[in-house]
Amino acid sequence: MAALALDVDAVRARFSALADGWARFDGPGGTQTPDSVIDAVAAYLRESNANLGGPFEASVRSDALVAEARLAAAGYLGCAPEEIVFGQNMTTLNFALSRTVGRELRAGDEVLATKLDHDGNVAPWLELARDLGLRVQLVELNDDSTLDLDDLTSKLSDRTRVVAFPLASNALGTLVDGRRVSELAHEAGALAWADAVHFAPHAPVDVAALGVDVLVCSPYKFFGPHLGVAFGRAEVLERWRPYKVRPASDEPVGSRFETGTLAHELLAGFVAAVDYVADVGWDPIRSQERALGEQFLAGLPDGLRLHGLAGIDGRVATFAVTHPGLTPDAVASRLAEQKVAVWAGDYYAVEVMERLGLPDGAVRVGMVHYNSADEVDRLLDALRAL
C-alpha cells in the first residue's frame, strides 16, 4: 500500500516561522516549531507557572503536566513513563548519565564509540576516561560511510562496558542498525548507548525493538522546544546511584537523574510537539522526506561532491556536500544571500570530518517534512549559480 501523501501547504500553515520567505534546510541544527508548541509554552507561563508539590491550583497543574510529559515521552520512545529522564539537552544529559555509570567503572575498562558520532556521544566518554583511567576506542566507517560492524566486533572485549553509537549520522544522514549494535554490545556484556538526536525527527523510535539500555535525544530537533530527553532501562536506572539532592524523590526512577526544577513550560511545548507529530503521521512524514531527498540527489549540480551514501536508501534526507572552489562557509554565505539556510563546518561531527579528510567540514543540507519541492528547486538553482 502506498504511503499517504502529505499536504505540505497545510503543514506549513501550522508554522508561522515558515512564512518569512526563507527556504530552511537547517533542521539538523534545530527544527522550527509549530504554533501549537509556541502556544503551549505561553499558556503554561500564563496559567500554570508554579513549582511542584503544592496544594494550590497552579502547582497541581504543574504536577499533572510533568506526569503528562513523561507519558508523551514514553509514547514517543516506546518505553515506560518511569524510564524517562528530562534535562537541558542531549549533551548535558549524556555528560550527567555517563558520570553516573562511571561509578561502576574501573581503570582499564573500555568504552566503544564510533567515527559516525556527534561529539556529544564521544566527548563525555573521553572525559570520563581521563578521570578513571578508561580506554576509549572508535569504531571505523566503511568507505560508503556505513558503520563497520566487523571493526566493532573486533574491538569488543571482556573489558568493554559501554558501546555508544548514533542511530543516524547528523553529518551524513547515514543510518545505523541499532538492533544489531545492541546485540553485539550485549553479547560482550556491555551497555548499548544510543544517540537518537538526528534520527528522531525522521522516523519512530522504539527502544524495545532496538534493544538499547540508554537512549538520548533532543526535542528541539523534532519540532519542540530546547530540551533534552533520555530513556534508561528501568533495571539499569535502579542499579545506578544518582547525583541528586537528598530530599528529591526516588520515584519515578527516571526522575532521580533530574537535577533541580525542570523547565515546565518547555515540557508543555514538548507534549504539544509529540501531539503534532502524531497528528501528521509517520508515513506521510517519511514519504515526503524521501521524495525531497530523491529530488535533491537527482538535481545535484555537477562539480559538487556528495559525501556518504550516493542514494536515498540507508539514510535520512541529510546531505553533506563540498564545492571544488569555495569553502563550506563561503557556500553557506552565498546561499544565505538567496534566503536559503544551510549549515557549514563540522556540526560537532569531529570524527566524521577527520575520517573524510575535510578540515573545513562540509555544507550540510537537512530536509524535514515541512520543506517543499519548490524549496528544493530554489536550493538547486542557488547551488548551480555558484
> Mean per-residue pLDDT for 119-143?
98
**Percentage of the residues of the chain whose pLDDT score is greater than 70:** 99
User: Grid coordinates in use for 231?
Assistant: 530513556
pLDDT at 247: 85
pLDDT at 8: 98
Examine the pLDDT at 152 and tell me if it is beyond 60. Answer: yes
Domains for the chain: give ranges and CATH numbers: 8-25+281-385 (3.90.1150.10), 39-276 (3.40.640.10)
pLDDT at 84: 98
User: Grid coordinates in use for 128?
Assistant: 570520563
How far apart are the C-alpha atoms of 167 and 178, rounded to whole Å?
A: 6
Compute the mean pLDDT over every residue in the chain, rounded to the nearest whole number: 97
* pLDDT tens digit sequence for 218-264: 999 999 999 999 999 999 999 999 998 888 888 899 999 999 999 99
How far apart are the C-alpha atoms of 274 and 281, rounded to whole Å?
A: 11
pLDDT at 365: 98
The residues, any chain, with a CB within 8 Å of residue 126's CB and separated by 6 or more, are 136
User: β-strand 362-366 against 318-322: which pairing, if any?
Assistant: antiparallel
User: Strands (DSSP E) along the chain, which ranges?
Assistant: 23-24, 84-87, 110-114, 135-139, 160-166, 191-195, 214-217, 228-232, 305-307, 318-322, 340-341, 343-345, 362-366
> Mean per-residue pLDDT for 167-193?
98
> Mean per-residue pLDDT for 376-383?
98
pLDDT at 348: 96
Please report which confidence band the pLDDT of residue 2 belongs to, taking 50, 70 and 90 as the band edges. Answer: low
How far apart are the C-alpha atoms of 338 and 259, rounded to whole Å?
A: 44
User: β-strand 214-217 against 191-195: which pairing, if any?
Assistant: parallel
User: β-strand 191-195 against 228-232: which pairing, if any?
Assistant: unpaired
The residues, any chain, with a CB within 8 Å of residue 298's CB and separated by 6 or more, are none
> Mean per-residue pLDDT for 106-129?
98
pLDDT at 3: 57
How far apart are the C-alpha atoms of 22 and 82, rounded to whole Å?
A: 40
How far apart are the C-alpha atoms of 302 and 105, rounded to whole Å?
A: 51
* pLDDT tens digit sequence for 321-341: 999 999 999 999 999 999 999
pLDDT at 246: 85
* pLDDT tens digit sequence for 36-92: 999 999 999 999 999 999 999 999 999 999 999 999 999 999 999 999 999 999 999
Look-up of cell digits 563550506: 328
Instruction: Look at residues 174, 177, 141 and name the one whose alpha carbon lies nearest to residue 318.
Output: 174
Q: Other C-beta atoms within 10 Å of 74: how many? A: 18
Task: Please give the radius of gyration of the chain, using alpha carbons only, rounded to the nearest integer.
Answer: 21
- Rounded to two decimals, what is the model's pTM? 0.96
pLDDT at 104: 96
pLDDT at 1: 42
